[in-house]
Amino acid sequence: MHNETFDETHDETDDVTHDVTLLPGDGIGPEISRTVLDILEAAGAPIRWHECVGGVTALETVGEPLPQATLDSIETTAVALKGPLTTPIGSGFRSVNVALRKHFDLFANVRPALTLLPSARYPGVDLVIVRENTEGLYAGIEHFIGMENDPRAVAESVMLITRYGSRRIVRFAFEYALAHGRRLVTLVHKANILKYTQGLFLEVGRQVAAEYEGRVEFDDRIVDATAMQLVLDPYQFDVIVTENMFGDILSDLAAGLIGGLGFAPGANLGERAAIFEAVHGSAPDIAGRGIANPTSLLLASCLMLDHLGETSTAARIRAALRRTLDEGAARTPDIGGTARTAEFGEAVIERLEGDTA
């Protein structure tokens, strides 16, 4: 498999039908998933879907948030498209998203930030954040320490950074840069304060960067300064590679530059599987109203098509989406319009059909 760089894994002339696991998700997930599937079908994407459940929907229907049948399906297909899954805050089950990343060792999270919305605050942004997906504070190694008759007096979390994990994510970022004609990899850290954990990440990053000298430029920056610089001048960045929590925060910041999480797709990649997702939440407050913006999941499906080698189909969908947004043909409420989810999908399909007419 060539998950690491979204390289083509099939020749589009082979007329292959791809088996893909579908997790429609919770809240608005089923609505946006239906629209995305309609667009993929109209584009002629050769996919055979295997629908499964996860999150709150799975808990309510089969009694567990991540059923074995869902894991088995992804194990078989090695590719999944996933809508938003609800994670309880402060109590309840742990994130299904994190559980999937751990189970399949999806060590690389790739979040492109590309301006598509004409009214976005920052026109022309085109950067990618590569986030280590399995270590750091999000590894979930935490516990309480009892003191003075209080068993929960202290809560402690462990930031786990390994040389192995650091090496493979930084190398992934450089290989991604080479494969996509990117000029610069910026490693983001907090090694000035966290000298052991973040220091190890930076040390390994510099060692890996030396292997790509002359092919891809490299620099490193402290995370808080990076956050400021992203807002001041996002155009100075190309590929950002960082650890788990910093990647989570910076990728949401980058989404804000281009119009919000509704325009931010994500890919979780490993040697055994690849899961492509909408990165926004399940929005239970508008679930069932048919007004959600399906763009994030649609762009995630395009990343999935690239991964499957269906690059021309992905390009056609992206072009139709861009025309829809440029023309303001069908804007959902989150971007200042009144269109419903299905109407947005129909507008994209019209432009797809116009492209092939």
Domain end, chosen from 232, 257, 282, is at 257
Given this model, what pLDDT does residue 91 score? 47
Task: Please report the pLDDT score of residue 84 as a whole number.
Answer: 93
Number of structural domains found in the chain: 2
The one catalytic residue in 82, 190, 238, 334 is 190
- Contact in structure between 27 and 284 (CB atoms under 8 Å): yes
- 145 and 23, same domain (yes or no): no
> Which tens digit of pLDDT belongs to each residue from 304-333?
999 999 999 999 999 999 999 999 888 999
SS3 of residue 18 by DSSP: strand
Half-sphere exposure of 194 (CA within 13 A, CB side): 17
Final residue of a structural domain among 230, 257, 284: 257
DSSP 205-240: HHHHHHHTTTTSEEEEEEHHHHHHHHHH-GGG-SEE
Domain residues for 283? 1-106+261-357
Residue 114 lies in a domain: no
Any domain includes 116: no
Residue 131 is predicted with a pLDDT of 98
pLDDT at 66: 92
Name the catalytic one among 224, 233, 326, 355.
224
233 catalytic residue (yes or no): no
Please confirm, yes or no, whether 138 is among the known catalytic residues: yes
Of 222, 257, 292, the position where a domain reaches its end is: 257
Instruction: For residues 219 and 293, state if they share a domain.
Output: no
Residue pLDDT, tens place only, 225-256: 999 999 999 999 999 999 999 999 999 999 99
Model pLDDT for residues 261-292, shown as the tens digit of each residue? 999 999 999 999 999 999 999 999 999 999 99
**Does a structural domain hold residue 99?**
yes
Q: Does one domain contain both 173 and 251?
A: yes
**pLDDT score recorded for residue 6:** 41
- Active-site residue flag, 224: yes
Q: Which residue has the tokens 């020749």?
A: 11
Do 314 and 278 fall into the same domain? yes
Do residue 179 and residue 192 come from a single domain?
yes
Q: Which of 26, 220, 238, 248 is catalytic?
A: 248
195 is catalytic: no
230, HSE (Cβ side, Cα atoms, 13 Å): 27
- Report if pTM > 0.75: yes
Q: Which residues of the chain have pLDDT under 50?
A: 1-11, 13, 90-91, 357
The residues, ordered by sequence, that sit 6+ positions from 194 with a Cβ below 8 Å of its Cβ are 159
Domain assignment of residue 121, yes or no = no
Task: Check 26, 82, 138, 334 and give the catalytic one.
Answer: 138
> What b/e readout covers 28-59, taking b as 16+ CB neighbours within 10 angstroms?
bbebbbbbbbbbbebbebbbebbebbbbbbbb
